[in-house]
Amino acid sequence: MLSAREKAHMIKAEAKRLGFLACGIAQATFLEEEAPRLEQWLKQGKHGEMGYMANHFDLRLDPRKLVPDAKSVISLAYNYHAHPQQEDAAAPKLSTYAYGRDYHKVLRKRLKPLRAFITEQFGSVEMRAFVDSGPVMEKSWAQRSGIGWVGKHTNIIRQGTGSFFFLCEVILDLELEPDAPVDDHCGTCRRCIDACPTEAITPYGVDGSRCISYLTIELKDSIPQEFAGKMQGWAFGCDICQQVCPWNRFSTPHNEPQFDPKPELKALTADEWHGMTEVVFDRIFEGSAVKRTKYEGLRRNMRFLINNGTN
């Protein structure tokens, strides 16, 4: 009979074969340390209009409420790093992850063979997979499973890799040997804090209601004027805190063809961006995460940039 260590080793080997950057395991238990921090963050309104963050509070903190009798949480990282994508330097900026196919779709497809492998090897296993969706505190599980540490910008950083990777989880009722968390290696560095133009970052905390990613994606109302001149050309998402992080000098380009941008997207000039019709938007961003903000949302963001002289 296979031990919990042997099962964990087999799953990690298969995850690596399937192209995941890293795979770590944590014991499925109540997130005792995270509970008061999450409650305080919500009470302070730092989730802005992201009302869903306040939903299912108990489910977010205990994976056993998502998968009855869950024993383990498998955390996986998937690289999406790429060099600057657009040919016109004056074009509005998109977060690196948004240039290719929506990562939710890509990672769900990548997780299917891993789940099938677990079933084939270990028999009937109750499990659920999550890709930045559902009431799962993915960064907490990634930290607990040794994928990396929570940086001062609250993204997970992996030594020798950086932070340009997606996280996903498999919660299952299979006993697996857990990994140990890794140490924090941010030290005295505060580049992400100092570089954030909207002052959204405090050490190990982010005011989501001030984050450029929130303002350009999650916020449905008009972007507040207090952020005029501070958007630095970002029309969808923002990578500033990752771009300035010294650990990302170790980032390497991804090997996922579905994350490659369409040539038409790369070639768009600034004028073409600002004159984009809804028909062109639908064609260029078909299957893309940019569809989340919808055409009118992207137009709102670009109008804000033009009216405030930042693009």
132 is catalytic: yes
In the chain, domain spans? 4-83+101-172, 191-307
| Continuous H helices in the chain | 4-17, 34-43, 57-61, 103-122, 138-144, 191-195, 212-213, 240-243, 263-266, 270-274, 278-284, 294-307
DSSP conformation class of 143: H
Note the pLDDT of residue 13.
98
Note the pLDDT of residue 58.
75
Residues 6+ apart with CB under 8 A from 280: none
Asked whether 41 and 47 are in contact (CB, 8 A), the reply is yes
Which pair of tokens denotes residue 68? 């009855």
Note the pLDDT of residue 48.
59
CATH topology for 4-83+101-172 is: NADH Oxidase (3.40.109)
Q: How large is the greatest C-alpha to C-alpha distance in the chain, in angstroms?
A: 67
Note the pLDDT of residue 304.
96
Note the pLDDT of residue 50.
57
Nearest CA to 215 out of 48, 42, 96 is that of: 48
Note the pLDDT of residue 75.
98
CA distances from 228 to 46, 113, 307 (A): 20, 46, 9
Nearest CA to 200 out of 213, 210, 190, 192 is that of: 210
Torsional class of 249: left (φ above 0), alpha (ψ -120 to 50), beta (otherwise): alpha
Rounded distance between C-alpha atoms, residue 122 and residue 107, angstroms: 22
Of 58, 62, 132, 194, catalytic = 132
Rounded distance between C-alpha atoms, residue 114 and residue 71, angstroms: 18
Q: Which residues of 105-143 are buried (b: 16+ CB within 10 A; e: fewer)?
A: ebbeebbeebbebbeeebeeeebebbbeeebbbbbbbbb
pLDDT in tens, the chain (311 residues): 899 999 999 999 999 999 999 999 999 998 888 877 777 766 776 665 655 555 566 778 899 999 999 999 999 999 999 987 789 999 999 999 999 999 999 999 999 999 999 999 999 999 999 998 788 899 999 999 999 999 999 999 999 999 999 999 999 999 999 999 999 999 999 999 999 999 999 999 999 999 999 999 999 999 999 999 999 999 999 999 999 999 999 999 999 999 999 999 999 999 999 999 999 999 999 999 999 999 999 999 999 999 876 55
Note the pLDDT of residue 46.
60
Asked whether 146 and 180 are in contact (CB, 8 A), the reply is yes
Note the pLDDT of residue 88.
95
| CA end-to-end distance (rounded Å), the chain | 62
Rounded distance between C-alpha atoms, residue 17 and residue 110, angstroms: 11
Which pair of tokens denotes residue 307? 């009216």
